[in-house]
Structure 1
Amino acid sequence: MKKSVESTVMWTPERASAEAAQITQFAHALGLEGQPYERLHRYSIMHMEEFWSVFWDFSRICGEKRGPSVRFDDGAWMTGTKFFPDAKLNFAENMLKGEPDEIAVIEADENGIGREVTLADLRRRVARAQRGLQSLGVVPGDRVAGMLPNNLDALVALLATTSLGGVWSTCAPEFGEAGVVDRFGQISPRVLIVASDYLYNGRRHEIAAKAGKIAAKLQELEHIVVIGDAEVPQAPCQVHRLADLCQEEVGEPSFVRLPFDHPLYIVYTSGTTGLPKCIVHSSGGTLLNLRKEHMLHCDVQPGDRILYYTNTAWMMYHWMVAARASGAALVLYDGAPIPKKQDGTLLPGVLWEIAASAGVTHFGTSPKYLTLVQQQGYRPGQQHDLGKLRMIMSAGAPLTVENFDWVYSEVKADLCLASISGGTEILGCFVMGNPTQPVRAGEIQGPALGMAVNVLDERNAPVLGRKGDLVCTEPFPSMPLEFWGEDGWQRYLATYFSDRSEVWTHGDLAQFTDSGGIIISGRTDSTLKPGGVRIGTGEIYRVVESIAGVKDSLVIGYPVEDDMEIWLFIVSDSGNIEPKLEADLRERLRKDASPRHVPKRIISVPEIPYTLSGKKVEKAVLQTVMGIEVKNRGSLINPNCLEAFRLTSPDQQRAEGVAG
């Protein structure tokens, strides 16, 4: 049988680099040297007590390691099991360890690299901010919320809060007033920290001006802290300047060591179909799992430098900053990924220039960004010296085969391109990269260590080579503590365990390949089922967005009687669906996917809606097409573009007199 294009090997690590990788050294610590990855993965599931205990020591976690590493609950195998139930630690303490003179943070924006900050300087800044928060009465368990761009001040606020045992939660500064209130209004923060402004497309955009209106709707808010000189009009509580709170010189921060399961973060789902879910993550689970992902799966080492394009609300921000605990310098970028000049000219080289100048070893991005840079005809490998770059991580959506081809031909041939997938729900990855294994086009390299990932079909039977529900069958440290708010535990159980008792059902449509890799086809709640056959939306995007003339696309399943039709929305270069483009779309989908992937309708739209974290929203489009109100438009970057989808339903067209 002819091998599929997805199985093409794009990169194989050199033997010396694989042997030097930290995952190889960790396998040696477990007595598994020379064994294939599959054996190490099975060990991490079958002997999770030894696995996590040895990894705590291997990664030199700062804390008090007491008692068992895992306490199982036979009556609630996943939801009742506890990790390190007697241990104590502090997340910020682990983030701030290292040599005083090492570079800890590099600030950058659309104009390039700004300042470099040593670990000693970062610790001093955190110590002063910590003292300021203490003066406001912050104690363990208090929620501290931030509306901040991705810069040094945001990191300092996060570390100062968590050093005291406070619970940190953020919204990106570009969120509208309703989007912020929908999130912070549920968690009742005691302190709100806001920046004066943020940079995007060459302009400074005010933040503090809307803080007063937001604060007025946060019932238990006691303090607003402003970074910068901006005023907060109509503030309902006391307003402080961060500079004033940080005037006292303090040499070193102190750290409150708390139980492993003490809350660290509250993060939010996108909330496109209702209020965002407020997910509570633990200090120990977050730290331990992200140390595993960085050290073992990304080979992040002391002295490395990581740049991940993200805002402070997306889970990848929390993922990225945790690399500081592995000794990496964080390159914090405030700005647009591809800035636009006043004359409309796009600047696709900004992030690559920063990566080259900072000596970035790990570059984090998304398929959308890679596709946009490719469409601009930009060739980063020819324009910049990326000699130190060892890994590109991509999240948010599946990488296409074309993404793999472009990276290895136009960025760098010798690096590990790691497609990673997990979610806000676990603040980490179920499946991800591996610096000691080959990279194959269109595939994620494999399941993450400690994650008992499987794919189940409609019979709840595990399947290989066929699509099914991505599940996890064994407990892991970064499972949420609960959802914040009334009935939070029950809502958490209903979301992830109602389909299968004590089995985490993640909501992704996935399949294992014969190489051991994984292909994610999309979300199960947006899965297409024409004629009863399950099709992931990602299967269509992979083909459609590789066709010349297509800028962007979105697909939905429109219900008709006892079946559904596939409707494909296209943003084209010309602004219309020309007959040749429509013929190309249908032919390529028929040839490269299957006849079942060919849409019933192909419709031109000016723009595709995205969440604030950069994900397409098929569900919101389907609701709009069907005349159902989209409840939380504030969770979208561009909610007004939904209007273009309103007259695409045949019933609505008839009602408006558009169709007979």
Structure 2
Amino acid sequence: MTLADELTGSWEPDQAEIDGANLTRFMAWLAETGRGEFADYQALWAESVRDPGWFWDAVWHFFDVRSESTPETALGTTDMPGAQWFPGATLNYATEVFRHETADRPAMVVAGEDAVTEWSWERLRGETAAFAAFLRSHDVGPGDRVVGYLPNVGEAVVAFLGAAAVGATWAVCNQDLAVGGVTARLGQLEPSVLVASDGSFYNGKRIDRSAELAEIRGQMPTLKATVLVPRLGTTPPDDVTPWSTVLEHDAPLEITPVPFEHPLWVLFSSGTTGTPKGIVHGHGGVVLEHLKYLALHLDLGPEDRFFWQSSTSWMMWNLLLGGLLVGSTIVTYDGSPTHGRTDYLWKVAADTGTTVLGAGAGYWLACAKEDLRPGTEFALDAVRAVGSTGSPLPASGYRWIQEGLGRRIPIVSASGGTDVVTAFIGGCPLVPIRAGELNVLCLGAAIEAWADGGTSVTEEAGELVVTKPMPSMPVFFWNDEGGAKYHDAYFDKYEGVWCHGDWLTITDRKSVVVHGRSDATLNRMGVRMGSAEIYNAVEGLAEVTDCLVVGCELDDGGYWMPLFVALADGVEFDDDLRAKIVAAIKTGASPRHVPDDVIAVPGIPRTMTGKRLEIPIKRILLGAKPSDVLTPSAVDRPDLLDVFAGHART
């Protein structure tokens, strides 16, 4: 048997990997401190969700979280929503970052299509201190908001840390978002300071955003100051402060302690319908959750270089910053992951010495479709784990990553969301991985699959619910007095139980298969299937670059299930290709779920964070006007919506 035959996408840790894992050290510490002895991961998980207060108190002490005051307890009120975590504690995210400062390794590696630069911890501290001093000079502090219109550059990290240090609340939009989308998000926060870049480099092109920036500023009357990061080297207007002037504020880093639940940042829902919801997370909840996930599940530590391809608008950027909380060097990248070639992201990983590399599942599948071999093209020996999220990664994707690298490696697929800025389900360095499955329910995440009526099930599909509170659940939604929007988002279906909107199967081994959004499941004659199964079957075809399937309940009682496909350049849609697509679904998914129609379209519109618009498209196909269903600024290609409207069943 050759190595290629052995690279199945599955993985099992050897004893050395188990012995060296942070999670093994954590379990030993639990035993040494009398907190409990656990035979394996599943026993620890069971206790972590049976008694969340016990578990998160252990995380607090194991990582030695610094608080200016002693919390009264780990978990007070346990209601959802409204759980009270570590009442009385005062801390700051920035404190937990800079306690790892060292001269032995860089804090960040800042990469772009034009350059790679290492940032020392000294530089990160110095620029953060200068920006914090600048904010204080404009009377910005707790209760104020600082926002960014920035690509994924080092100054974005600095601006966030500086805002956190003074107790202000941070929010950011990537520059690929239209002006209307930016102002719909950041404008509702009534910010005091805007930090922006004059543009960026993407796929070899200079993209000047000066005009957009002027328009955005004009729609933010509360601004006290605007700071410009000169990515393109343009000259800022007279009423804008250059980043170089900010850095003239020579001051030590002063960090303001804040309550555990004090707003750290605001992330936003996709905003496909109406104004995007502002999801507010607190300092303490984010610190604890990211320490747990990154150190215990992803096994990150000080020797790692952590790189997750993301825009600043995606929650994975926030999780990437969490690498600083465990002393890792984080890698940021401002540019196209396919700059000049599909596997360019792998080149960035090689050039930056990345050890843990993550991206959206769509990127890995794009590489797999071309059967690329980055392991022979680039020096990737340092990469020890690969992460995937954003959508379910099929078993074929796991296999390709190992084949592409030419060696066994853990493929850590994760599922969570902006709502909790972490994963509910992810990886564990002590537990084997089967290709196509997420290998564990995360510690402290009381996840169950509920069938209709609220019955917990295993080995069959159900709604993803969370039955116990987690510290990184939102503190509140912005402009949601009384909490009605928050309640309706997660607790409307099951009172007191978080219903996430995903459809999943939990196996008897406690691994998980995610099928897609529960409101987008396909129901043929009472047999339900997740849309992900269809995508996994169809996207393996070289002729198809993207696809979308929906199930429409018609007024006459009928059920119409069309599949829309975007084709590779030069591919003609004919009866032979239609038959090939149908055969792939029959053999790779289910004969019962063969679509009624296969329709070629110029492209598949997605949200700005890359998610398919299954429910909005379904509504359009049932006769709704695109303008009544979707906010154009929330869609990457709004021009495509009229294409789908042309196929409506009215």
Give the TM-score category using the shorter length. Answer: over 0.9
Asked if 2 retains the 8 angstrom alpha-carbon contact of 1:131 and 1:246, the reply is no
1:387 match? 381
1:559-638 aligned within 5 A: 559-560=553-554, 561-573=556-568, 574-625=570-621, 626-629=623-626, 630-638=629-637
Does 2:59 align with 1:55? yes
- Residues 109-156 of structure 1, C-alpha deviations (whole Å, 9 max, x = no match): 124x52111111110111111111111221112111100111111111
1:480 match? 474
**Candidates 340, 351, 354, aligned match of 2:345:** 351
1:201 match? 203
**Candidates 128, 137, 140, aligned match of 1:138:** 140
Q: 1:484 to 1:634 in 2, by over 3 A?
A: same
Show structure 2 runs of 5+ residues with no match. Answer: 1-7
Show structure 1 runs of 5+ residues with no match. Answer: 1-7, 340-345, 652-660
Secondary structure in 2 matching 1:434? coil
Asked if 1 retains the 8 angstrom alpha-carbon contact of 2:52 and 2:468, the reply is no
1:363-442 aligned within 5 A: 363-442=357-436
Query: How far 1:487 sits from its partner (Å)?
Result: 2.9
Asked if 1 retains the 8 angstrom alpha-carbon contact of 2:304 and 2:328, the reply is yes
Query: How far 1:219 sits from its partner (Å)?
Result: 3.6
Q: Mean Cα displacement is larger for which, 554-563 or 593-602?
A: 554-563
Secondary structure in 2 matching 1:79? coil
Instruction: Work out the CA distance in 2 between the residues paired with 1:470 and 1:548.
Output: 33
> Aligned letter for 1:13?
P
Instruction: Work out the CA distance in 1 between the residues paired with 2:59 and 2:171.
Output: 28
Secondary structure in 2 matching 1:83? coil
Instruction: Work out the CA distance in 2 between the residues paired with 1:526 and 1:411.
Output: 34
**Candidates 103, 106, 109, aligned match of 2:109:** 106
Instruction: Work out the CA distance in 2 between the residues paired with 1:544 and 1:499.
Output: 33
**Candidates 168, 171, 174, aligned match of 2:170:** 168
Q: Percent identity?
A: 33
Secondary structure in 2 matching 1:108? strand
Query: How far 1:50 sits from its partner (Å)?
Result: 2.3
Asked if 1 retains the 8 angstrom alpha-carbon contact of 2:74 and 2:86, the reply is yes
Query: How far 1:105 sits from its partner (Å)?
Result: 0.8
> Aligned letter for 1:195?
S
Instruction: Work out the CA distance in 1 between the residues paired with 2:508 and 2:599.
Output: 36
Normalising by the residue count of structure 1, what TM-score does the alignment of the two structures yield? 0.92
Asked if 2 retains the 8 angstrom alpha-carbon contact of 1:307 and 1:355, the reply is yes
Query: How far 1:9 sits from its partner (Å)?
Result: 6.9
Asked if 2 retains the 8 angstrom alpha-carbon contact of 1:302 and 1:327, the reply is yes
Secondary structure in 2 matching 1:133? helix
- Residues 578-624 of structure 1, C-alpha deviations (whole Å, 9 max, x = no match): 21221122223223322221101100011111211111111232233
Asked if 2 retains the 8 angstrom alpha-carbon contact of 1:124 and 1:253, the reply is yes
Secondary structure in 2 matching 1:194? strand
Secondary structure in 2 matching 1:160? helix
Query: How far 1:222 sits from its partner (Å)?
Result: 2.5
Instruction: Work out the CA distance in 2 between the residues paired with 1:412 and 1:310.
Output: 25
Taking only aligned residues, the RMSD between alpha carbons, in angstroms, comes to: 1.8
Asked if 2 retains the 8 angstrom alpha-carbon contact of 1:551 and 1:572, the reply is yes
Asked if 1 retains the 8 angstrom alpha-carbon contact of 2:369 and 2:542, the reply is no
Does 2:500 align with 1:506? yes
Instruction: Work out the CA distance in 2 between the residues paired with 1:409 and 1:33.
Output: 38
> Aligned letter for 1:468?
G
1:267-416 aligned within 5 A: 267-339=267-339, 346-416=340-410
- Residues 52-111 of structure 1, C-alpha deviations (whole Å, 9 max, x = no match): 11211211223236234433336xx22232111111111112112224312101111124
Asked if 1 retains the 8 angstrom alpha-carbon contact of 2:337 and 2:343, the reply is no
Does 2:512 align with 1:518? yes
Q: Mean Cα displacement is larger for which, 616-625 or 101-110?
A: 616-625
Secondary structure in 2 matching 1:212? helix
1:93 match? 95
- Residues 275-328 of structure 1, C-alpha deviations (whole Å, 9 max, x = no match): 211100001001110110000001101121011110101000000111111011
Query: How far 1:43 sits from its partner (Å)?
Result: 1.2
Secondary structure in 2 matching 1:291? helix
Asked if 2 retains the 8 angstrom alpha-carbon contact of 1:49 and 1:70, the reply is yes
Instruction: Work out the CA distance in 2 between the residues paired with 1:559 and 1:461.
Output: 26
Q: 1:83 to 1:63 in 2, by over 3 A?
A: same
Asked if 2 retains the 8 angstrom alpha-carbon contact of 1:185 and 1:218, the reply is yes
Instruction: Work out the CA distance in 2 between the residues paired with 1:650 and 1:66.
Output: 62
2:192 match? 190
Asked if 1 retains the 8 angstrom alpha-carbon contact of 2:280 and 2:474, the reply is yes
Secondary structure in 1 matching 2:525? helix
Instruction: Work out the CA distance in 1 between the residues paired with 2:69 and 2:498.
Output: 28
Instruction: Work out the CA distance in 2 between the residues paired with 1:451 and 1:615.
Output: 24
Secondary structure in 2 matching 1:292? helix
**Candidates 40, 44, 47, aligned match of 2:48:** 44
Asked if 2 retains the 8 angstrom alpha-carbon contact of 1:24 and 1:33, the reply is no
Q: 1:488 to 1:577 in 2, by over 3 A?
A: farther
> Aligned letter for 1:37?
Y
- Residues 132-191 of structure 1, C-alpha deviations (whole Å, 9 max, x = no match): 111122111211110011111111111111000010000001111111111112211111
Asked if 1 retains the 8 angstrom alpha-carbon contact of 2:12 and 2:433, the reply is yes
Instruction: Work out the CA distance in 1 between the residues paired with 2:443 and 2:73.
Output: 16
Secondary structure in 2 matching 1:107? strand
Give the number of equivalent residue pairs: 631
Does 2:269 align with 1:265? no
Q: Mean Cα displacement is larger for which, 580-589 or 171-180?
A: 580-589
1:240 match? 241
